[in-house]
Amino acid sequence: MTSILELQRPLGSGFTAFSTAEEVLAGLDLTGRNVLVTGGHRGLGLASTEALSRAGALVTVAARDTGAAARAVAGLDGVRVEQLDLLDPRSVDALAARWTRSGRPLHVLINNATVFHRERVVDARGYETTFAVAFLGHFQLTLGLLPALRAAHGARVVNVASGSHRLSDIRWDDPHFARGYDSDLAYGQSKTALVLFAGELDRRWAADGIRGYSLHPGISVITSLRKGSEALHDLTQLRAMGLIGEGGEPVIDPEREKKTPEQAAATIVFAAASPVLDGVGGVYLKNADIAPVDARPLTAEMLAVGDVTSDLAPHAADPASARRLWDLGERLLAG
């Protein structure tokens, strides 16, 4: 069996860091395709929803705040809103059950929603919420939607991860950060989990015609992640990172990962719909192509001088870790 690391070589898709979601979908007719996007009403999720809708897909946006989601997607053809709270197992099960009862096949599931907290926050189960939303909630949702994914006779599950996966492997002895909480490491762990999850899903479900992908979309400061009023970084940090200029304007430099929302959404819709990926699964993507592997450990010195990469770290492609994470997810869902 070919390993994921062996598959991590660019295909020569013809797209670049400058490509937009519209360019990736140009010429594709997605009429009749059902797509579910968690958090598809804001940021890169909204940019993906807009592009997929314009290509003819029927897009369902799953959101905790359905009112805000409905306002954000008003006027988009073929877009509907469903309620989903990824921290509430009953809400996750309810959405999966509603979809299954509808009899609609699910051609594409985009696991996009995420959170970031500077301080440790846990849900009602005592689970650290960054991990619980990004991985565990999506894991539960994906398992619940398996019948609908099978019914598509060719489906894709797209996990929106990040180059931040390089910051942390899974903390197997303390995944909920009961000791020594670090917001960046918690975020990095959650993204590693999404990469491992996609690889293991593909291994398990490819025979059913369901392929898994994970990806780094790039950094779009225009849609900086927010949790309530809490920004992912304050303006001083964003300026120090070179993401905004002195006047507060976003810096757009796709070759250095700094993208518009439309450019950052390009890899999401590439994973969701591009025929370039037909027959290939389990891989980690960036810039609308398969990303190479970079085995260098990410150090504080590299971060300080900007010598960072969003390529795949080997710890996120380890098949034993992927199986172990799947088992962990099942145990955590069982309570």
Beta bridge partners of 157: 109, 212
118: Cα separation from own chain's centroid: 20
> In this structure, what token pair is assigned to residue 178?
């009961």
- The closest of 302, 331, 223, 220 to 267, measured between CA atoms, is 220
Catalytic residue from among 127, 181, 187, 213: 187
Any idea which residue has 């400058």 for tokens?
Answer: 18
Is residue 202 within 8 A of residue 282, CB to CB? The reply is yes
Is residue 161 within 8 A of residue 216, CB to CB? The reply is yes
**Burial class (CB within 10 angstroms; exposed 0-12, middle 13-18, buried 19+) of 206:** middle
Cβ neighbours around 279 below 10 Å, total: 8
**187 catalytic residue (yes or no):** yes
Helix, strand, or coil (residue 277):
helix
Task: Measure the CA–CA gap between 94 and 110, rounded to whole angstroms.
Answer: 18
CA distances from 167 to 191, 215, 312 (A): 9, 15, 11
Is residue 279 within 8 A of residue 128, CB to CB? The reply is no
Most distant pair of Cα atoms in the chain: their distance: 53
- The closest of 184, 135, 129, 188 to 159, measured between CA atoms, is 135
> In this structure, what token pair is assigned to residue 247?
């006047």
Task: Measure the CA–CA gap between 88 and 3, rounded to whole angstroms.
Answer: 35
Task: Measure the CA–CA gap between 142 and 149, rounded to whole angstroms.
Answer: 9
State the pairing for strand pair 155-160/108-111: parallel
Just list the catalytic residues: 187
